[in-house]
C-alpha cells in the first residue's frame, strides 16, 4: 500500500526579507520514510522553513532537494505535484465546500485537465470524480469522522477542523507530509487520537513526515529524527536522545525539563 | 403608476450594465485581491472595440459582438501577465496605484487613437419599440436585461460546477492551500482578469448601443463602484443586485426629483447601506481584531 | 606662470567660451526679431478636449498656412499652446506665463468660463487682445471689455434666435416653451435665461428639466417634459444627451420640436435614429458646421488635411478656431511691419465685414467687440450624412436685439 517516500536535503538555506534574516545557513537531512520533527522557540524560523519547503518562499541562498530533485525555485503547485502535502497552523479549509469536498480537494491534482476541459464540464470530469470520492471516504473512515461527511466546515469545532485539514493532506497520498503544529489547540484526548492517526496513516501510505510541534511529549512520542532551530540557525540535529542530551539545546530551549531530560538520557545510555 | 413602472424598467436596463461591470470587478477582486480602478475604463475599451469591429472591419452586429468579446478576453489576460503578475506580493497601495495609472493610460490612449469626438455604432442592436400595455420599452433595453441575466447565470453555473470555477473559488479563499492542491494560481488569475474584462466590455457594448461612444464612458463606468460597495465587495450576485439598485435609484430620482438630486440620492443611499450594513447587502462581515 | 596652472587656465577658458557660446545659441532663435509669438490657453488633456482640441488645431492650421506662404509681413508666427487641463488655476498660470514670460502679442482660448472670467482683469491690465474664445461668458460682454474680441454668439443671442424662430415656426399666438438643460453651470444659466426671456419673446415658459451629463437614459426627463405639454423645447445639452432625448421621445411617441444651442451640434446627436425622429432636433450656431457644403468649408478641409488635422476638421469647434485664426492673421497683417499689442488691438477694432467664405456671417468687431452677433439653425440630412443650414444668416437678424 505504501508509495515511495521522499527524502529531504536542505543545504545552507538562508532566507532574508527586508532587514530580517529568518533563516541563516540551515542544513539538515531527512531520510525517506523517516518521522521527523522541527522544534524551536517561537520566532526560530520553523514556519519560514516550511514555507521554503512548500514553495511559498524562495530562499535567498542555498538549496532544497526533495527526493533528489532541486525544488528551490519551483512554485507551490509544482511542488505539490511532486507529492508534497502541507497543513497550516490555522486551518485553511475551503469554507464554500463541505467536509468531503474539502477532502476531495486533496485529490484534485489527479483530475484537472487543461484550460478548456476545466472551463466546461467535460465528460472525464465525472468519472475521475468517482475515484476521488472513494478515496475521500477512506480518509473519513481512517479519521473516524464519516458522520461529518456533509457538514459545513465553518461549523466544526477547531479540533475537528484540524483533523479534516490533516485528512485533506492525506487524500493527496503524499510522499512528504509537512504538518505545521497539527496539535495546537487540541485537548489531551484529541492529541492522543491525532498521534494514533499519524501512525496509522504512515502505515497505509508510507510518507516521510516533518512535523512542527511545541508539545515536547508529542514530539518525543512520534519523532525518529529531530531538527532544532533557534534564531534562524540550526542548533542541533539527531535522534530524540541525542537532542535531549545536547547541552546547547538544553540551555536554549528545554529549560526546566533539562534535568528530567538529562536523567532520561543517562538511563538510555 | 405607469410613470413609476416606466422608470423602474429603464432603471433595470441601465442597472444591468452597471451590474455587469461590477460583476467583473468583484470577480477580479475576489480571485486576485486586486482592486481594479481601471474597470470603468475597460467598459469604454469594450465600446471602442465594438466600434472598430463595426466601422473598420464592417462586421455584422452578431459577429462584431463575438469579436469584441474575444478581443477583450485576450486584453484582460495580457493585462494580468504584463501589469499585475510582476506586481504580485507588492503592498496594496502599489497595486492600487498601478490600476489608477492603467486607468489614465487607457483614457489617454483612447483619445489619441480615436480622437475626442463622439462616435456612434454604424449598425446597432435592434432597438424597436415594444409596447406592453401602457408601458413602452425599447427592444434594446430588453436585450440588455436578458443578456445580463444570461451572463450572471452562466457565471454562477461556471463557478459552481466547473473545475476552473472551483479553482477560482479555492484560490480566492486560500491561495496557498489551493496551490498545494495543485492549482496553478497564475492561470486562475489570468482567467479572472480575462472574464472581468469581458464583462466590462459587454457593458461597454450595451452602453455604446444605448447612447454614443465617447471618452465619457469611463466616467459612467465609475458608477460600477457604488454598485460593488452596495452589493458587498466579495459577493458576485451582490454586485449585480447593487448595479440594478443603483440604476433604478438613478432613474427614479431623475424622474421624481431633479437630475441634480439623482447623484445625491444614489450616494446617500450608498452611505446609508454602508452605515447600516458595512459589508454591503450580500457581503460577508469581516471582523478584525485590534 | 607654472605650466600646470597655464594648462588649467586654457581649459577653463575654453570651457567658459563654449558655455557662453552655447547659452547664446540657446537664448537666440526661438523668439528673435523675425517672428511673432502668439499664445493659446486651452484644454489639451482633460475633459474639455473634445471641443477645445479641434479649436486649437483650427488656429494652428491658419498659422501654418500663413507661415508656409512667407509669414505675416515676412515674419513667421509662432504658436505657444498652453494646456490648462480644464482647471482654472492652471489656466490663469498659463495666461500669466504667456503674457509676461513669453511676451506674446495676443491670446486665444480661455474658453473655460471660470478662467475667462478670472482672466478679465489681467487682460485689461496687460492690454493683451484676446480673440475668439470658443465660448462667451456674460462677464466678457457686460461691463464692456476693451480687449475681449468675441466670436461665438452669447447665450442670450442664441436664446433670442431660438425663441423668435420657433415662435414663428409654431405659428401660435403665445406658444409654450420648456427647456432641457445639462446639469452644469452653463445649463443652469440657460434655464434661467429661457425662463426670464420667454415672455419678452412672445412665448410662455412652462417649466424645465435638468439632465445629468452622465445620465444613460433620458426616459425620466422626457416623461416630465410630456407632463408640461410644451409646443417646443429650447435645449442646452451635449450631442450624446440629445441622442438619448430623441430616443426616449421616439419610445414614448412624442413629437415636440427642439431647437438647441450649439453644444449639441455634433453628428452623434443624430446617430442611430430614423430621419423623421432626427428632424425634430435643430441647433443654432454662429458659424457654419464643416459638413455643410460651402467654399470656405472646402478650403478649410483642404488646409486641415495638409497639416494632418483632417479628423479634427469635422468639428464645429475647429471652424471657430479657424475663423479666429484668420482674423488674427488679418489684424496682424494690417498692423504693419512691427506690430505691437496696441497696433494689433487697433487693427482688430477696425476689422469690418470680413468675409469667411461661408463659414460665418461677415465678421466685424468694431465698438461692440462682438464679431458674430448672430446665429442660425441647422438640421441633419441623413441621406448625405451632413448638416444643412435652415435659411440664410440675414433671415435671423430680426430676432437679435
SS3 for C4-30, per residue? HHHHHHHHHHHHHHHHHHHHHHHHCHH
Is the pLDDT at A114 greater than 60? The verdict is: no
**Higher-confidence position of C165 and A267:** C165
Please tell me the distance from the alpha carbon of residue A176 to that of residue C336, in angstroms, as a whole number: 93
pLDDT for C28: 39
Q: What is the mean pLDDT of residues C103-125?
A: 92
Q: What is the pLDDT of residue A2?
A: 45
**Domain residue spans of chain B:** 2-217
Closest CA to C45 of C81, C82, C83, C80: C83
Task: Say whether B120 and C268 touch across the interface (CB within 8 A).
Answer: yes
Nearest chain C residue to B14 by CA distance is C216
Quote ipTM for the complex: 0.80
Domain boundary among A108, A143, A172: A172
Beta bridge partners of C386: C381
Last residue in a domain, options A149, A172, A195: A172
**Do β-strands A61-66 and A8-17 pair in parallel, antiparallel, or remain unpaired?**
antiparallel
What is the structure's pLDDT at A1?
38
pLDDT at B289 over 50: no
Residue with cell string 538549496 = A63
Q: Are residues A58 and A190 in the same domain?
A: yes
Q: How many domains does chain A contain in total?
A: 2
* Cell output for C43: 484644454
Q: Is the peptide bond before C191 cis (omega within 30 degrees of 0)?
A: no
Torsions phi, psi of C52, nearest 5?
A: -85, -25
DSSP letter (8 states) at residue C100: I
The whole-angstrom distance between A125's CA and the closest CA on chain B is 8
CA distance A248 to B27: 53
pLDDT at C359 over 60: yes
> Touch between chain B and chain C (3+ CB pairs, < 8 Å)?
yes
Report the CATH number that the domain containing residue A1 is assigned in CATH. Answer: 3.40.50.300
Where does the pLDDT of residue C401 fall: very low under 50, low under 70, confident under 90, or very high at 90 and above?
A: confident
Specify the CATH number of the domain C35-152+293-350.
3.40.50.2300
Cα C263 to Cα C59: distance, rounded to the nearest angstrom: 20
What would the grid cell of residue A177 be? 507530509
Whether the per-residue pLDDT at A256 is higher than 50: the answer is no
The cell for C375 is: 446665429
- Distance, in Å, from the CA atom of C354 to the CA atom of B233, rounded to the nearest integer, reads 62
The label of the residue with cell 436578458 reads: B146
Give mean pLDDT, residues C168-183.
Answer: 93
For residue B214, the model assigns a pLDDT of 84
Q: pLDDT at position C212, please? A: 83
Asked whether B162 and A121 are in contact (CB, 8 A), the reply is: yes
pLDDT digits (tens, 9 = 90+) for C8-43: 667 766 666 556 655 554 443 334 568 999 999 999
Kindly list the residues of chain A whose beta carbon comes within 8 Å of any beta carbon in chain B: 54-56, 75-77, 80-81, 84-86, 88, 92-96, 105-106, 108-109, 111-113, 115, 117-121, 125, 168, 172
pLDDT recorded at residue C29: 35
φ, ψ of residue B127 in degrees (nearest 5): -135, 35
So what's the pLDDT on residue B133?
A: 82
| Claim to verify: residue A1 and residue A76 sit in the same structural domain | yes
Q: Is the pLDDT of residue C338 over 60?
A: yes
In chain C, domain spans:
35-152+293-350, 155-285+376-399
The Cα–Cα gap between A100 and A187 comes to 24
In what helix (H) or strand (E) does residue C239 lie, and over which residues does it extend? helix C239-251
C132: helix, strand or coil: coil
Q: What is the mean pLDDT of residues A91-107?
A: 88
User: Best of A96, A152, A173, A180 to disrupt the B interface by mutation (most B CBs within 10 Å)?
Assistant: A96
Does A91 fall in a domain?
no
Number of C-beta neighbours around residue A244 at 10 A: 24
Where are the strands (E) in C110-203, listed by range? 130-131, 148-149, 176-182
Residue C18 confidence (pLDDT): 59
Contact A115 B164 (CB under 8 A): yes
- For residues A207 and A261, state if they share a domain: yes
Domain assignment present for residue A47? The answer is yes
The Cα–Cα gap between A20 and B149 comes to 52
| DSSP letter, residue C332 | H
CA angle (A146 as vertex; A144, A149 as ends), nearest 5: 135
CA distance B233 to B281: 9
Q: What separation in angstroms does the CA of A23 have from each of A71, A250, B230, C286, C296? A: 17, 21, 45, 77, 79
pLDDT tens track for A180-193: 999 888 889 999 99
For residues A86 and A50, the answer to whether their CB atoms sit within 8 Å is yes
Mean pLDDT rounded to a whole number for chain A? 85
Q: Which grid coordinates belong to C372?
A: 458674430
Tell me the pLDDT of chain C averaged across its residues: 89
Q: Is residue A90 part of a domain?
A: no
Q: For residue A2, what are the domain limits?
A: 1-83+174-269
C-alpha cell at C8: 588649467
Over range A48-62, report the average pLDDT. 91
CATH number of C155-285+376-399: 3.40.50.2300
Strands C148-149 and C176-182: unpaired
The reported pLDDT for the residue numbered B195 is 94
Contact B212 C239 (CB under 8 A): yes
pLDDT the model gives residue C228? 93
Provide the pairing of β-strand C376-381 with C281-285.
Answer: antiparallel
Three-state secondary-structure class, residue A221: helix
Please, what is the Cα angle at B115 between B24 and C189, to 5 degrees?
A: 90
Spatial distance between the Cα atoms of B116 and C48, rounded to a whole number of angstroms: 9
Q: Which of A172, A187, A222 is the last residue of a domain?
A: A172
Amino acid at each position: 500500500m505504501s508509495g515511495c517516500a521522499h527524502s529531504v536535503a536542505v543545504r545552507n538555506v538562508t532566507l532574508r526579507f527586508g532587514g530580517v534574516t529568518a533563516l541563516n545557513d540551515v542544513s539538515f537531512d531527512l531520510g525517506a520514510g523517516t518521522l521527523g520533527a522541527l522544534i524551536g522557540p517561537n520566532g526560530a524560523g520553523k514556519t519560514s522553513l516550511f514555507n521554503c519547503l512548500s514553495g511559498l518562499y524562495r530562499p535567498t541562498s542555498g538549496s532544497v532537494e526533495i527526493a533528489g530533485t532541486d525544488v528551490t525555485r519551483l512554485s507551490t503547485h509544482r511542488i505539490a505535484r511532486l507529492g508534497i502535502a502541507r497543513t497550516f497552523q490555522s486551518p485553511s479549509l475551503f469554507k464554500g465546500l463541505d467536509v468531503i469536498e474539502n477532502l476531495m480537494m486533496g485529490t484534485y491534482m489527479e483530475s484537472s485537465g487543461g484550460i478548456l476541459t476545466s472551463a466546461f464540464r467535460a465528460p472525464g470530469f465525472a468519472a475521475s470524480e468517482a475515484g476521488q470520492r472513494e478515496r475521500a471516504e477512506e480518509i473519513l473512515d481512517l479519521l473516524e469522522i464519516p458522520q461529518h461527511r456533509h457538514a459545513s466546515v465553518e461549523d466544526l469545532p477547531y479540533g475537528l477542523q484540524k483533523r479534516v485539514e490533516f485528512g485533506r493532506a492525506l487524500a493527496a497520498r503524499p510522499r512528504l507530509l509537512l504538518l505545521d503544529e497539527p496539535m495546537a489547540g487540541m485537548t489531551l484526548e484529541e492529541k492522543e487520537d491525532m498521534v494514533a492517526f499519524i501512525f496509522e496513516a504512515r502505515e497505509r501510505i508510507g510518507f516521510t513526515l516533518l512535523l512542527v510541534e511545541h508539545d515536547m511529549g508529542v514530539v518525543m512520542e512520534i519523532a525518529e529524527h529531530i531538527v532544532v532551530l533557534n534564531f534562524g540557525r540550526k542548533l542541533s540535529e539527531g535522534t530524540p536522545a541525542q537532542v535531549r542530551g545536547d547541552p546547547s539545546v538544553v540551555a536554549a530551549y528545554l529549560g526546566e525539563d533539562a534535568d528530567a531530560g538529562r536523567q532520561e538520557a543517562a538511563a538510555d545510555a | 403608476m405607469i410613470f413609476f413602472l416606466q422608470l423602474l424598467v429603464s432603471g433595470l436596463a441601465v442597472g444591468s450594465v452597471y451590474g455587469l461591470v461590477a460583476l467583473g470587478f468583484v470577480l477580479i477582486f475576489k480571485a486576485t485581491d486586486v482592486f481594479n480602478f481601471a474597470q470603468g475604463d475597460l467598459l469604454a475599451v469594450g465600446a471602442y472595440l465594438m466600434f472598430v469591429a463595426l466601422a473598420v472591419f464592417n462586421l455584422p452586429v452578431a459577429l462584431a459582438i463575438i469579436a469584441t468579446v474575444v478581443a477583450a478576453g485576450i486584453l484582460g489576460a495580457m493585462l494580468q501577465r504584463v501589469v499585475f503578475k510582476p506586481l504580485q506580493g507588492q503592498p496594496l497601495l502599489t497595486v492600487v496605484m498601478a490600476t489608477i495609472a492603467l486607468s489614465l493610460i487607457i483614457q489617454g490612449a483612447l483619445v489619441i487613437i480615436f480622437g475626442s469626438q463622439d462616435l456612434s455604432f454604424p449598425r446597432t442592436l435592434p432597438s424597436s419599440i415594444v409596447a406592453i400595455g401602457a408601458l413602452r420599452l425599447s427592444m434594446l433595453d430588453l436585450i440588455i436585461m436578458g443578456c445580463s441575466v444570461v451572463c450572471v447565470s452562466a457565471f454562477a453555473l461556471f463557478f459552481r460546477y466547473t473545475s476552473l470555477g472551483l479553482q477560482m473559488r479555492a484560490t480566492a479563499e486560500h491561495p496557498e492551500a489551493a496551490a498545494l492542491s495543485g492549482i496553478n494560481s497564475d492561470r486562475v488569475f489570468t482567467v479572472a482578469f480575462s472574464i472581468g474584462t469581458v464583462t466590462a466590455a459587454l457593458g461597454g457594448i450595451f452602453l455604446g448601443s444605448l447612447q454614443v461612444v465617447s471618452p465619457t464612458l469611463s466616467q459612467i463606468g465609475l458608477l460600477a463602484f457604488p454598485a460593488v460597495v452596495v452589493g458587498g465587495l466579495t459577493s458576485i450576485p451582490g454586485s449585480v443586485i447593487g448595479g440594478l439598485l443603483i440604476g433604478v435609484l438613478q432613474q427614479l430620482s431623475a424622474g421624481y426629483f431633479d437630475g441634480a438630486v439623482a447623484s445625491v440620492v444614489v450616494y446617500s443611499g450608498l452611505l446609508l447601506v454602508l452605515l447600516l450594513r458595512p459589508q454591503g447587502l450580500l457581503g460577508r462581515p469581516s471582523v478584525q481584531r485590534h | 606662470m607654472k605650466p600646470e596652472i597655464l594648462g588649467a587656465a586654457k581649459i577653463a577658458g575654453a570651457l567658459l567660451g563654449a558655455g557662453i557660446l552655447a547659452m547664446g545659441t540657446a537664448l537666440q532663435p526661438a523668439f528673435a526679431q523675425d517672428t511673432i509669438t502668439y499664445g493659446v490657453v486651452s484644454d489639451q488633456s482633460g475633459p474639455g478636449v473634445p471641443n477645445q482640441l479641434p479649436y486649437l488645431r483650427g488656429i494652428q492650421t491658419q498659422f501654418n498656412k500663413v507661415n508656409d506662404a512667407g509669414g505675416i509681413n515676412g515674419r513667421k508666427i509662432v504658436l505657444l499652446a498652453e494646456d490648462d487641463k480644464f482647471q482654472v488655476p492652471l489656466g490663469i498660470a498659463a495666461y500669466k506665463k504667456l503674457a509676461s514670460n513669453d511676451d506674446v502679442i495676443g491670446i486665444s482660448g480661455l474658453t473655460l468660463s471660470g478662467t475667462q472670467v478670472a482672466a478679465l482683469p489681467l487682460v485689461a491690465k496687460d492690454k493683451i487682445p484676446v480673440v475668439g474664445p470658443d465660448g462667451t461668458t456674460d462677464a466678457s460682454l457686460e461691463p464692456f471689455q476693451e480687449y475681449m474680441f468675441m466670436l461665438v454668439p452669447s447665450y442670450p443671442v442664441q436664446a433670442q434666435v431660438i425663441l423668435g424662430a420657433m415662435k414663428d415656426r409654431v405659428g401660435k399666438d403665445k406658444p409654450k416653451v420648456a427647456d432641457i438643460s445639462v446639469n452644469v453651470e452653463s445649463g443652469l444659466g440657460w434655464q434661467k435665461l429661457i425662463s426670464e426671456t420667454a415672455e419678452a419673446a412672445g412665448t410662455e415658459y412652462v417649466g424645465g428639466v435638468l439632465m445629468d451629463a452622465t445620465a444613460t437614459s433620458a426616459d425620466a426627463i422626457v416623461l416630465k417634459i410630456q407632463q408640461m405639454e410644451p409646443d417646443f423645447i429650447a435645449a442646452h445639452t451635449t450631442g450624446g444627451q440629445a441622442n438619448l432625448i430623441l430616443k426616449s421621445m421616439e419610445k414614448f411617441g412624442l413629437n415636440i420640436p427642439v431647437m438647441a444651442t450649439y453644444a449639441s451640434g455634433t453628428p452623434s446627436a443624430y446617430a442611430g435614429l430614423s430621419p423623421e425622429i432626427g428632424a425634430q432636433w435643430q441647433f443654432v450656431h454662429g458659424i457654419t458646421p464643416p459638413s455643410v457644403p460651402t467654399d470656405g468649408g472646402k478650403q478649410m478641409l483642404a488646409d486641415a488635411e495638409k497639416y494632418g488635422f483632417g479628423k479634427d476638421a469635422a468639428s464645429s469647434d475647429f471652424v471657430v478656431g479657424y475663423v479666429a485664426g484668420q482674423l488674427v492673421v488679418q489684424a496682424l497683417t494690417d498692423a504693419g511691419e512691427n506690430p505691437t499689442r496696441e497696433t494689433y488691438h487697433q487693427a482688430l477694432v477696425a476689422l469690418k465685414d470680413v468675409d469667411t467664405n461661408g463659414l460665418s456671417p461677415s465678421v466685424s468687431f468694431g465698438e461692440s467687440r462682438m464679431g458674430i452677433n448672430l446665429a442660425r439653425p441647422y438640421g441633419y440630412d441623413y441621406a448625405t450624412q451632413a448638416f444643412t443650414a435652415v435659411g440664410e444668416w440675414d433671415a435671423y437678424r430680426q430676432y437679435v436685439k
